[in-house]
Amino acid sequence: MDELCLNQPPEFKEYMNYCRGLSFTADPDYRYITSLFEGCMERHNFETRNPDFLWNKNRLFLERQTLKESMMRVIAKPAAAPVPGTTKPKGAAEQGNDQ
């Protein structure tokens, strides 16, 4: 990691170590990651209100919201009611042997 991040701000190495430490199923702490790079930008006198930076930050937020909303629609969708006297949902195709 030292060689990879040589001559780069220390935040890059910290970010790489953070990512390497995440398990496959762990949710990244996006606020921490964003604050890490915002701090780096401020320390190097970059404007954190740069439209490109804000666009990417907002895009990630909007993508996450869209995914969450689509998942909630799937979860909230009611299952088809079973026809009385059967265990199959109403309208389910019959797959029998008509021989």
42 CB-near residues (< 8 Å, 6+ apart):
48
The residue among 32 and 92 whose pLDDT is bigger is 32
Residue recorded with tokens 């220390």: 10
More confident residue, 28 or 51: 28
The set of residues, in sequence order, having a beta carbon less than 8 Å from that of 22 and lying 6+ positions away, is: 28
Instruction: For residue 18, name the pLDDT band (cuts at 50, 70, 90).
Output: very high
Report the pLDDT averaged over residues 14-38.
92
Instruction: Return the percentage of the chain with pLDDT > 90, whole number.
Output: 28
* pLDDT value of position 29: 93
Closest-CA residue to 38 (of 22, 53, 52): 53
